[in-house]
Structure 1
Amino acid sequence: MTTPRTRARNKRGEGAQLRDEIVGAATKLLEDGTPENVTLRGIARQAGISAPSIYAHFPDLDSILLAVAQRAFGVLEQELGAADDEDPAQRLRAICAAYLTFAERRPHQYRVMFGAVWDAGQARDRAPGMADELAALGMGAFEILRRTLADCVASGRSTSADPFRDATALWVGLHGFAQLQVAAPLFPWPPELRGTVIDRMALLR
């Protein structure tokens, strides 16, 4: 469990820094495995500020968790985009491996990203004004999958006739694989299963 810190008052023009610190405080609470403490009061305590100070930057808890998810998806997108193999099939495999590594290394953030801690659909119902931002969550990372699969098709390395559909199926497979490994750690997972899931969902050859 983290120790809340005290914080000096921001100087004029440092509001953006405080906003980042609020998001960082929420992320830290999640990384510590204490999602029950991810409340406005708990985040303020972790950031070393008073709870009312949050309202100058975020109207509610949903908007903070949206920012946490956006930051996490940004990191995921950077890590997926780091794959640079000239062979698109090998690049796609590296992207998928990076996705699964991210899910394994950042499990609490991953849960926020995909609804286990925070339900984006319910957040949209509570705050319709966030609908566009919520709809865009994860699309940058997905576009890397789709574009790379399209490159595989163009180079004859995949038999996919619909890269959007098959990239969606691949994302479903990766997500299920990541979640099941957490849910069933004692299952004798075949060591080659990761590659099998990727190759079959992406129709690689």
Structure 2
Amino acid sequence: MTAVTGTRAQRRAAATRQAVVEAAREIIASEGADAVTLEAVAERADVAVQTIYNRVGGRSALLTAVAEMAMEENRAYMDAAYEAEGTVEERLLRAAAAYVRFARERPHEFRILVDPPDEPETLDRIASLIEEQNAKLTDVLRDGIATGTSRPDLDPDRVSTVLWATMNGLLALAWRADKLRPDADELDALLATYVETIADGLRRRAAH
């Protein structure tokens, strides 16, 4: 009986934690990270503030938990692209397409990873999660060099950072409120131009 009760209690605690984190995510989505207070999250999740402390922690821990949820969503999109069979170029193109889908289908999760809340604990955690995920991109680039299909003079770590940062910058154009904000078709064209340029730049040239 004790084991069953304990299991049920753990399930209830996990469900409460999930509800709290989801409430914080919804506030970020509708009002931005600055609107996330323990009182606002408690009201939305219909729990006591002390429950948030018990199940998640303070505000920084709560924002970090939302960021971790966002990265889990990102992995669901990206890992399949990285793990699929194909040439290095095909895998990179699939990864780029998956990243664009993630940004469009999960815009709030994308934004918290690109523009994280200014909380030291959250910033450190997001940086670590992004480094871990970008290492998979670096591995694909290393495969290209090892198999002779990519330029041997490239630094895989730097190239992966350039790819990640530039994709973020292009996709973030959709956040602009001025005339520099592209419509959906123009943004697609910009992304296609970038991916095509990068793919060409990675290819190993035939010796003359």
TM class by shorter-chain length?
A: 0.7 to 0.9
How far off its partner does 1:170 sit?
0.7
Q: Which has the higher contact order (CA 8 A, sep 6+)?
A: 1
- 1:61 aligned to 2:59? yes
**Structure 2 portions without partners, runs of 5+:** 1-7, 204-208
Q: Can you list the C-alpha shifts for 1:143-192, whole angstroms capped at 9, x where unaligned? A: 22111122222233322521111111111111111101332134972754
Match of 2:4 in 1: none
**Structure 1 portions without partners, runs of 5+:** 1-10
How far off its partner does 1:70 sit?
1.0
AA aligned to 1:144 is K
Match of 2:158 in 1: 165
Within the candidate set 40, 50, 53, 1:52 is matched to: 50
Aligned-residue Cα RMSD (Å) equals 2.5
Give secondary structure in 1 for the equivalent of 2:9: coil
Which residues of 2 match residues 100-115 of structure 1 at below 5 A?
100-115=100-115
CA distance in 2, matches of 1:76, 1:135: 14
Spell out structure 1 runs of 4+ moving beyond 4 A: none
How far off its partner does 1:48 sit?
1.4
Identity of aligned residues (%): 29
**Hey, which of these two has a bigger chunk of helix by percent?**
2
Match of 2:182 in 1: 185
Q: Choose 1 or 2 for highest CA Rg.
A: 2
- 1:137 aligned to 2:122? no
Contact 1:158–1:204 (CA under 8 A) maintained in structure 2: yes
Q: How many pairs were matched up?
A: 186
AA aligned to 2:9 is R
TM-score, normalised relative to structure 2: 0.77
CA distance in 1, matches of 2:94, 2:13: 38
Contact 1:80–1:144 (CA under 8 A) maintained in structure 2: no
